[in-house]
Amino acid sequence: MSEIDLISDKGQVARINQPELVEELTTLNLGPTHPATHGIFQNILQMDGEKIISGEQTIGYIHRAFEKIAERRPFYQITTLTDRMNYCSSPINNFGWHMTVEKLLGIEVPKRAQYIRVIMMELARISDHLICNGILGVDSGAFSGFLYLMEKREEIYEVYEEICGARLTTNMGRIGGMERDLTSTAIRKIKALLETLPAVLREFENLFNRNRIFMDRTINVGPITAERALSYGFTGPNLRAAGVDYDVRVMNPYSSYEDFEFDIPVGQSGDTYDRFMVRGEEMWQSLRIIEQALNNLPEGPYFADAPEYYLPPKKDVYTKMEALIYHFKIVMGEIDAPVGEVYHAVEGGNGELGFYLISDGGRAPYRLHFRRPSFIYYQAYPEMCKGVTISDAIMIMSSLNVIAGELDA
Amino acid sequence: MKPVKMAEAPAGHSGAGFFATSFDQVIGLARSYSLWPLPFATSCCGIEFMATMGAHYDISRFGSERPSFSPRQADLLLVMGTIAKKMGPVLKQVYIQMAEPRWVVAVGACASSGGIFDTYSVLQGIDRIIPVDVYVPGCPPRPEQILEGLMQVQHMAQNESLRRRNSEEYQELMASYNIQ
Amino acid sequence: MLTNQEVAEHIAEKFDGSVADFEQPYGLLTLTTTRETIIPLLAYLKDHPVYQISFLTDITGIHYPESTGKEFAVVYHIHSLVNNFRTRVKVFLGKDDLHIPTATDLYASANWMERETFDFFGILFDGHPNLTRILNIEEMDYHPMRKEYPLEDATRQDKIDALFGR
Ligand code: SF4
């Protein structure tokens, strides 16, 4: 402690004790309802001035017990749960689950259904990346790009509506195929999207990709090396931004992905800018896939011959005894699945979305575990934001695209 | 230029150069067209709120231009998404921090009743911990439905007596939720 | 391309006596090991110059209340990104002794996966840096994914309805 004299205007002297300056850390509580966190998770940050020294995360604020519910529901009802996991790209989750069950049952899905699935999954990927990149723009202070993208996302939702009637929680398709064929309206809407989306994407890229402010805010912010990323279980765009070209669609192709030609964009440094660019490029690749799938859409049935799992057409239910029985059995969940143990992975919006299903021969899974990509890679967040400022930490979080529903299951 | 749409004037007496009506109505009118929502978005329904905010559905047309992320300045708590038990105390805290008059809208099945998540970890409807004014059904509700919910709140705000929040009934309601 | 046969034989030889039950349901090599061997096995496969099974996909638990002495299983999914080869390793534990060493020294991602498994099943990962509940509230006094616990909240009074309730 040192003593100093303070002299006022009138010449009065006051002697006060001045404490030594000590380095003090502030604790900042970010979340769980902070508007910048896009979802509810809490971060307790130790700050030195504006620099983050360390962080501790708390999650589980919307833990909904998917895995426990899944043990009480017949297989087809679980689709409804998968919708609500990564709700930015529900169709991928739906089809991922359907394919897992089909693998268990040994159902071969006709080509046409596989292609329709690919189209819908890629649309879902686009809508997922649109939100992520749009929000990243918002967090760096550029709101307008987001508005353009949201406009297009509405159009993707219109396609969903045409296919399944819902916008967000799609519950699309059935075990064994699609519930209905692509209508001409749906095809028209997808084609229109293929025509108009590139212009919007290009405009968005013009706004951001070479924007000095945006580059300064994102380049070298929150980088992660490939080695650390793999150790942390990163998958999907975040891993690819770090330079590892792992993509489930190519490594273990499902649903005829081997028929399509597309590139896997990779980044170099795994920083926020790379993640942004990888997502941006993936949207172009998705458009490419959709175009190929639409042009080569095979003719034929859009569902497999699996009467025990695939709901019969309504017309038959009213007129044919057999169809009515199957309908009843499926809806009441009276059908026992074979015994087995399956792991199936699809490339979700955020990475490898895995379904580990154990069936003991009952109507419901004995155990169903979801490998949720954002749950696994969000652990790396404190390490990634060590030493950066709080505003950069927000950017890192939105570039990771952590979806609360998927995080907490 | 599109013509500006004016809100209808409340009932009252008018003459040359004056217009007389009751305070209740004027204040109700003003409040109802400047409701600042606090989007308490936790999961899927929050994404639909994003669409509601976007250019397509545009919630600003109803005077909710400014989402207020600070509870102190918000009039309307929009609870969108599943509220787990872990989240319950946080939600209550946010509600307590809001100043009167405050309205609450439970958007979606989860916020209204727990929805499809009848599980050990999910709160079976937010009305177990805070009073709710409007329930918006749907899983998720379409943006139009969310707007309809907002309009219901506007309607309530217009027709609410100024003294309602001091009434004994209201105090009792608050007391039943252990809110002072 | 690695074949299940080749890897299984190699592991069986290397860890003679402590690995068993080689299967391949739907083409995925599955084996069972013991709690003493699991970490050496994961480390061996990770550092193996050819296999390089060095990506931890998932850790989870399973509860089999009926099988006495082996009530709980911890399941590891590992993946070789170089060879595109997946393996599933299981460790069975008795319900009175739910200890298993942690894999966090090998894989940073194991941290939360193990916490989740602890939260859901109460499996104790020895040596874990911070083995606390992750998804549920701290005050919870049971492990909800065990089969004996109901799905619904036991304390609630709503939804008691003659027609729609249970
Ligand atoms: S009501 Fe449906 S859409 Fe909304 S949060 Fe709940 S599950 Fe999600």
Candidate from A133-147, A219-233, A366-380, C102-116 with smallest mean pLDDT: A133-147
Band the pLDDT of C166: cuts 50, 70, 90.
Answer: very low
Nearest by CB: B42 against A34, A40, A168: A40
Q: Which domain holds residue C63?
A: 4-148
Residues of C in contact with A232 (CB under 8 A): 108-109
Nearest by CB: A88 against B47, B54, B56: B47
Give the per-residue pLDDT at C162: 52
Domain B35-176 has CATH 3.40.50.12280: yes
The pLDDT > 90 percentage for chain B reads: 23
What residues line ligand 1, using a CB cutoff of 6 Å? A 84, 169; B 43-45, 81-82, 108-110, 115, 139-140
| Run of H or E residues at C130 | none
The atom of ligand 1 lying closest to the CA of B45 is 4
In the predicted model, is pLDDT for residue B173 greater than 50? yes
For A7-17, the pLDDT digits (tens) are 777 777 777 67
- Mean pLDDT over A147-173 rounds to 89
Instruction: Tally the domains of chain C.
Output: 1
For A72-116, the pLDDT digits (tens) are 888 888 999 998 888 888 999 999 999 999 999 999 999 999 999
Band the pLDDT of A305: cuts 50, 70, 90.
Answer: confident
Domains in chain A, ordered, with CATH? 66-408 (1.10.645.10)
Give the per-residue pLDDT at A29: 85
Task: Find the A86 Cα to ligand 1 centroid distance in Å.
Answer: 12
In chain B, domain spans: 35-176
> ipTM beyond 0.95?
no
| Residue A204, amino acid | F
Task: Find the B140 Cα to ligand 1 centroid distance in Å.
Answer: 5
**How far away is chain C from the Cα of A322, in angstroms, using its nearest Cα?**
30
B50, closest residue in chain A (CA to CA): A150
Strands A26-30 and A13-18: unpaired
Q: Which of B40, B42, B45 best tests ligand 1's pocket when mutated (most atoms within 8 Å of CB)?
A: B45
Band the pLDDT of C73: cuts 50, 70, 90.
Answer: very high
Single out the residue of B68, B84, B5 nearest to residue B34, CA to CA.
B68
Give the per-residue pLDDT at A290: 94
Task: Find the C14 Cα to ligand 1 centroid distance in Å.
Answer: 51
Q: Which of residues 125-144 of C touch B (CB under 8 A)?
A: 135-137, 144
CA-atom Rg of chain A in angstroms: 25
Is residue C153 in some structural domain? no
Give the per-residue pLDDT at B5: 78
Subunits next to B (3 or more Cβ pairs <8 Å) are A, C
pTM over 0.95: no
Is residue C12 in some structural domain? yes
**Average confidence score pLDDT of chain A:** 88
Residue A16, strand partner residues:
A4
B69, closest residue in chain A (CA to CA): A35
Q: Which residue stretches of B68-164 are H helix? A: 88-97, 108-113, 143-159
Q: How far apart are CA C14 and CA A315, in angstroms?
A: 61
Taking each helix axis from N to C end, the angle separating A144-164 and A184-208, rounded to the nearest 10 degrees, works out to 160
Nearest CA to ligand 1 atom 6: B110
DSSP B61: G
Single out the residue of B72, B80, C135, C136 nearest to residue A39, CA to CA.
B80
Task: Find the B137 Cα to ligand 1 centroid distance in Å.
Answer: 10
Is residue C27 in some structural domain? yes
Task: Find the C150 Cα to ligand 1 centroid distance in Å.
Answer: 22
- Mean pLDDT over A387-397 rounds to 88
Is residue C157 in some structural domain? no
Single out the residue of A82, A33, A34, A40 nearest to residue A61, CA to CA.
A40
**Average confidence score pLDDT of chain B:** 88
By the 8 A CB rule, do B114 and B123 touch? Answer: yes
Give the per-residue pLDDT at A180: 86
CATH number at residue C92: 3.30.460.80
Task: Find the C38 Cα to ligand 1 centroid distance in Å.
Answer: 40
Give the per-residue pLDDT at A279: 93
| Run of H or E residues at B104 | strand B103-107
Nearest by CB: C88 against A233, A343, A376: A343
Nearest CA to ligand 1 atom 2: B139
Strands B134-136 and B103-107: parallel
**In 10 A of CB A40, how many CB atoms?**
29
Tokens of C41: 């096995």
DSSP A37: G
Tokens of C108: 């940073």
Mutate: best of B82, B90, B120, partner C, most C CBs <10 A: B120
Inter-chain contacts counted by CB atoms under 8 A, chains A and B:
90
For C104-154, the pLDDT digits (tens) are 999 999 999 999 999 999 999 999 998 999 988 888 888 999 988 888 776
Q: How far apart are CA A87 and CA A153, in angstroms?
A: 13
Give the per-residue pLDDT at C114: 93
- Mean pLDDT over A302-321 rounds to 88
Which residues of chain A are at the B interface, by a Cβ-Cβ cutoff of 8 Å?
32-35, 39-40, 60-65, 68-69, 80-81, 83-84, 87-88, 131, 147, 150-151, 153-154, 157, 167-169, 404-405, 408
Q: How far apart are CA A397 and CA C136, in angstroms?
A: 23
Band the pLDDT of C156: cuts 50, 70, 90.
Answer: low
Residues of C in contact with A371 (CB under 8 A): 57-58, 77
For B2-30, the pLDDT digits (tens) are 787 777 888 888 888 888 988 888 888 88
Band the pLDDT of C155: cuts 50, 70, 90.
Answer: low
Is residue C166 in some structural domain? no
